[in-house]
Chain A
Amino acid sequence: ETGVTQTPRHLVMGMTNKKSLKCEQHLGHNAMYWYKQSAKKPLELMFVYNFKEQTENNSVPSRFSPECPNSSHLFLHLHTLQPEDSALYLCASSRGPSGGESGANVLTFGAGSRLTVL
């Protein structure tokens, strides 16, 4: 258990479904992140929230919709996805920019949600 919990761990959905991924951390961190991990590609940052405010949206398609109701919880709402969206979606948290020792921003990751879009 890393301190960051993601549910569900596995999700299979059709292109017309609506589903949500959930992430929860109780590390007292102020920043939360969604990453997409596809085979043979670098980690892709999708969204960043710092103190519940979205600070980064890396040109993510609108079929992905994040929600951060408080600094401990982060959701990724999914609708009308495409098969190429199949990937491992990782949530992470950190103390936030310049919040760590000597300015380090060390991320703690969840185990990920493996998404398959049919």
Chain B
Amino acid sequence: ELKVEQNPLFLSMQEGKNYTIYCNYSTTSDRLYWYRQDPGKSLESLFVLLSNGAVKQEGRLMASLDTKARLSTLHITAAVHDLSATYFCAVDSNYQLIWGAGTKLIIKP
């Protein structure tokens, strides 16, 4: 059974700091997705990582995928309050997505 583990599950940080969210998964897959969910709103696609070594960047967020280590990271650079949200990773297993529990990120001014 494919399992996806995110850590930390909760993160409170100051503006301007850097941090990384980790997404580990338990079986072979070369397709991984990151989504963002604001309170009371729907999930929004952030990044699609489709091969080993893939790196995508959008503003202060950068995601990477290491399929050999079965690990993806979401790195936040110089955090700002607007990035406060819950971040989910999801791994594609036979075209079905297996989701992590989410990381709730709070960025304090």
Contact = CB atoms under 8 A, between A and B. Distances in A.
A92 B31 CA distance: 18
Q: Which interface class (under 10, 10 to 19, 20 to 34, 35 or more) fits B?
A: 20 to 34
Nearest to B9: A40
Interface residues of A, number: 24
B66 to A, nearest CB: 18
A104 interface: yes
A68 interface: no
B96 A106 contact: no
B42 A45 contact: no
Interface in B1-56: 4, 31, 33, 35, 40-45, 48, 50
Contact of B50 (A92, A103, A110): A103
B95 A98 contact: yes
A98 B22 CA distance: 26
B50 A104 contact: yes
B97 A90 contact: no
B88 A43 contact: yes
Contact of A90 (B33, B40, B42, B96): B42
A42 B99 contact: yes
B4 A42 contact: yes
Contact of A105 (B40, B43, B95, B102): B95
A9 to B, nearest CB: 9
Given A2-B44, A40-B101, A42-B100, A102 B50 contact: yes
Contact of A97 (B42, B43, B90, B95): B95
Nearest to A33: B97
A111 interface: yes
20 contacts: A2-B42, A41-B101, A42-B99, A42-B100, A42-B102, A56-B96, A92-B43, A97-B95, A98-B95, A104-B31, A104-B33, A105-B95, A106-B33, A106-B45, A106-B48, A107-B45, A108-B45, A109-B42, A109-B43, A110-B42
Interface of B: 4, 31, 33, 35, 40-45, 48, 50, 88, 90, 92, 95-102
Interface of A: 2, 4, 40-43, 45, 48, 56, 90, 92, 97-98, 102-112
